[in-house]
Structure formats: C-alpha cells, structure tokens
Amino acid sequence: QGASVAFGGLKHDASQPVEITADELTVDQATGSAVFTGNVVAGQGEMRLSAGRVQVQYATENGQATGRIDQLVATGNVTLVNGAEAAEAEKAVYSVGGSQIVMTGNVILTQGINALSGEKLTVDLTSGSGRMEGRVRTIFQTGGNK
Amino acid sequence: MARVDNRYSRFVQWAKIIFPLVALGLLSTMFLFSRNLDPSDAIPFAEIDVEKIAREQQLTAPRFSGTTSDGSAIVVDAERAVPDLTDLRRLTISKVVARIESISGPSYGIIANSAVYDGTVNTLDLEGDVRLSTSTGYKLETNKLVANLVATEITAPNTVTGRAPAGVLQAGSMALTTDGTTQVLVFKNGVKLVYDPKE
C-alpha cells in the first residue's frame, strides 16, 4: 500500500543549475561515464542530495552521449533534504530533466517531528508531492498538550 | 642638289639632317646617364646575433614524435629547444604544442608556454598557462602538467579549472591513467561541477 505526502511544498525550479561537489571524479574516457565518489553533494536550488557515490548518466541522442545530464544515480547512505523535509535511503535516482527523485531501500522520511518509512519514495519536485510505497509505517508525535 | 623653291621640299631637306641628329642624341642617352650603382646594398643579410647562435646550441622549430607503450602516437612541436648544458638529455623548450592520439581512445592536445623534456625518464614537464583539451569535450587549464611519454599518462598536480561536457569544472588535481585498455581521467582533492540545464 502507499501514502502520498507533501514534500517540500515550495515550487522547485528544475531549470536551475545543478552543482555537484565531491572528493573525487572519475571519468571513463571510452564510455564518457562520470562517477563522483567521496561525500558527494548534488544541489539544485533548495534541494540537496548527498551520497557516498553518484554516477552521472548523460542523455543519449541516437546513441551519441550528449553533454546534457539525464540522471544522477546516488548510492551509499543517500540523504535528500528539501526545505523542512529530509529523506534517507540506500539508493536514489534523480532524473534532472523530469525533476523527479525515486528513492529505494528502507526509506525514512522525516517532516518536522513526523516520520514515515517504507520501501520506495517517489518525489515529484515541481509539484512538491511525494508517494511512499511498500510497508509504509508512520510515527506521529502526539504530545504537545502536556 | 637642285635648287628647290617650294616650302615642303625645304622642310624635307632640313628633316633629313635634324631627325638623324635627334635619333643619335636619344641613342647616346642610353649610355651617358646610367643609374649610379650603390655597392653597399648588394646582398641584404639577416641581423641575427651570430655570436649568440654560435655560442648557444639551439634547435629552432623542433618536432619530437614517438609512440607510447599502448600504441598511442605522441607529437611535440615547439618554437625553440635549448639543451641543458649539464645534462644533454634534458631540453628546455618554449611555446609547446603536444598532441597525443591513441588508437582506440580519444586524442589529447596540450599547449603550454614552456616545458622541460627529460630524455632519461621520458617525461615532459609543461609549465606556464597549460591548456589541455580532449576530444571527449574537456577543456582544462592549469599551471603545471607532467606528461609521461612512455605510457599515456598525464598528471596535473595543481588546481585544474575548465569545462567538462556537462558544464564548468574545477578540481584540486587531475590525472589521466590507462588501466588496461580504457583511459580514465581522475580529478582529485575536491571536485566541483556546475551543470546548467538551460544550456
């Protein structure tokens, strides 16, 4: 079953520049595939995606790899922070063009004091909505009237 | 000669005398007014400091070429090469253009102000506004670059800035190594890539 959540209500502009910082970048000159390793942080506008390893996949037009980035595949304790929300998972695929992030592998989403965990979280950055699937468990802090 | 009375014949008579004289005069100017020859500008010669060239062994516009262990061809062009007096296998070369073309992989072009070619260890240390451009779309600038002429290996120890296919790139250092067949470009100690989707 699944639950839809608001994620980073503010509108995220997918055309902003993406800045990737890391300790190391390895580029295979034959295939052109680029891999950032060592506390990688990919940021775009308000959103920050940090991970141990990020692989850049370029959009290919008729087999030729163009300069445009199609997807960032982040692995290794991935955390995604966007405004007040933070999400952690084992793996995240951020398709820059479609401005959508799919996080898989015991995802934990914290919004303020509420927490939500599941197997897969799909976040649409432009509409600011997210969908959590797979053994969704929520923890509400009920306190506050002490 | 019969007396003549009409004007035309008199005119012809005078013409028969004057015209040859004028012709003779014209002909003589060919030899009398010759141009004065200036012996000093006979052969224009270059004003190069001959002693300097004789004293300093110097190669102008040298070109080295060779192939590395994995078969990629290296061609190094320069404006001037001056051998190091202490070790003749070391050459200091200026205005360097080096090209490395590997058979399967991409090709690299390096431009630098000066370089030191060391024949014993077969390396080329390029310095001064070094620009590296690869056929895979990387255009990088740094101030020092060491190219190993035996194996295809390029290392830039200092900060490297420039453009990658995806966007503007900045890194602490860079190294191009060949592991097996594929050539791998590695940027180390701090990398920052800014990708602009609008581009």
From B57's Cα to the closest Cα of chain A, the distance in A is: 41
For A59, the closest chain B residue by CA position comes to: B166
Report the percentage of chain B scoring pLDDT > 70. Answer: 95
With contacts defined as CB-CB under 8 Å, which chain A residues touch B197? 14-18, 68-69, 96-97
**Residue among B134, B185, B195 whose CB faces A69 most closely:** B195
Nearest to A14 among B181, B191, B197 (CB): B197
C-alpha pair distances (Å), B46 with each of B43, B49, B50: 10, 9, 10
Number of CB pairs < 8 Å for A and B?
92
Q: How far is CA A56 from CA A40, A50, A59, B126, in A?
A: 12, 14, 10, 31
The answer to whether the Cβ–Cβ distance between A21 and B189 falls below 8 Å is: no
CA-based nearest residue in chain B for residue A28: B184
What one-character-per-residue DSSP string does B150-195 give? Answer: TTTEEEE-S-EEEE-SSEEEEEEEEEEEEETTEEEEEEEEEEEEEE
Cβ-proximal residues to A98 (8 Å cutoff; 6+ apart), any chain: A14
> Which of the 8 DSSP states describes residue B17?
H
Alpha carbons B190 and B186: distance in angstroms, whole number: 11
**Is the confidence at residue A12, as pLDDT, over 80?**
no
Quick: pLDDT tens for B61-116. 888 888 888 788 889 899 888 888 788 788 888 899 989 888 777 888 999 999 99
Q: Does A5 score more than 90 pLDDT? A: no
Give tens-digit pLDDT for B166-180: 889 999 999 988 777
| B161 lies within 8 A of chain A by CB | no
The superfamily (CATH) of domain B60-195 is: Lipopolysaccharide (LPS) transport protein A like domain (2.60.450.10)
- Work out the pLDDT band at A7, boundaries 50, 70, 90: low
The number of CA neighbours under 13 Å toward the Cβ of A65 is 17
Mean pLDDT of B23-33: 86
Contacts B196 to A, Cβ<8 Å: 17-18
List, for residues A36-80, the tens digit of each pLDDT value: 999 999 988 888 899 999 998 887 777 666 777 888 899 988 998
Inter-chain touch B184–A29, beta carbons under 8 Å: yes
Q: Examine the pLDDT at B22 and tell me if it is beyond 90.
A: yes
pLDDT tens profile A74-101: 998 899 888 778 889 999 998 887 888 8
**Cβ separation B185–A69 shorter than 8 A:** no
Alpha helix ranges (H) inside B45-187:
50-55
Q: How far is the alpha carbon of A5 from chain B, nearest alpha carbon, in Å? A: 27
Measured in degrees and rounded to the nearest 5, phi and psi for residue A67 equal: -75, -15
Closest C-alpha among A97, A90, A91 to residue A125: A97
Q: Which residue of chain B comes nearest to A19, CA vs CA?
A: B194
The model's pTM is 0.74
